Copies of this chain bind each other. A is one copy, B any other.
């Protein structure tokens, strides 16, 4: 732990198109930047390029907004087609007021517009979250582990808002190769007293750290986080999404 952690931007990733083999794109950018991957590196990949490679794009001209979407969009000056796409990507409306649409996605993420987004995609197109972000992370991990002959973790990240704090932070929406939550329950603090309830969302913290080199407008859609002391992926591990029955803010 004394050597600390390095966060290295993966530069030179070209524009990603539907059907691209994203693992190959990433390998070529990493090698092209003169870098390699070390054992236990975490590669953080922005959701946007995963969604593009997987063809998770919708042309707004193909969308027929429902009456609900039209009325709400009109009241708050939104694009009704975008509202329709967001609602159709959701399984529950958490808040729909004052022009803010907080939705629970089919994966269980609670976020604005179900992660549907028009930044960094072509005009008239929106991107959806990957269908199975853990699976996307797994696919990339296997390809990169093979290429670099090391064991890795991969995180697919997106930027989410928070109810009581301003600004977005990058969080992990897909994880492979590491336990997303570190479980300190039952371990002792450094005074010897028991830490009975603490779990840390390590994958979210790694995603946030990677965002510091990725930025929102810099065209750096991936970063290598080196030196994180993460736990192995387990078969019965804690998840980052909170089960609805424990949610006090539905």
Contact = CB atoms under 8 A, between A and B. Distances in A.
Interface of A: 1-2, 4-9, 11, 95, 97-98, 100, 102, 109-110, 118-123, 159, 162-171, 180-182, 184, 187-191, 193, 195, 198-202, 204-206, 208-209, 211-213, 215-220, 223, 227-229, 238-242, 247-249
- What DSSP secondary structure best describes chain A's contact surface? loop
28 contacts: A1-B9, A1-B213, A4-B9, A95-B248, A97-B248, A98-B248, A121-B193, A162-B162, A162-B201, A165-B201, A165-B241, A165-B242, A166-B241, A166-B242, A167-B181, A167-B199, A168-B198, A168-B199, A169-B169, A169-B201, A189-B217, A200-B216, A204-B208, A205-B209, A205-B212, A206-B212, A209-B212, A215-B229
A4 B242 CA distance: 32
B217 A190 contact: yes
A5 B165 contact: no
B242 A164 contact: yes
A165 B239 CA distance: 8
Contact of A110 (B159, B164, B190, B200): B164
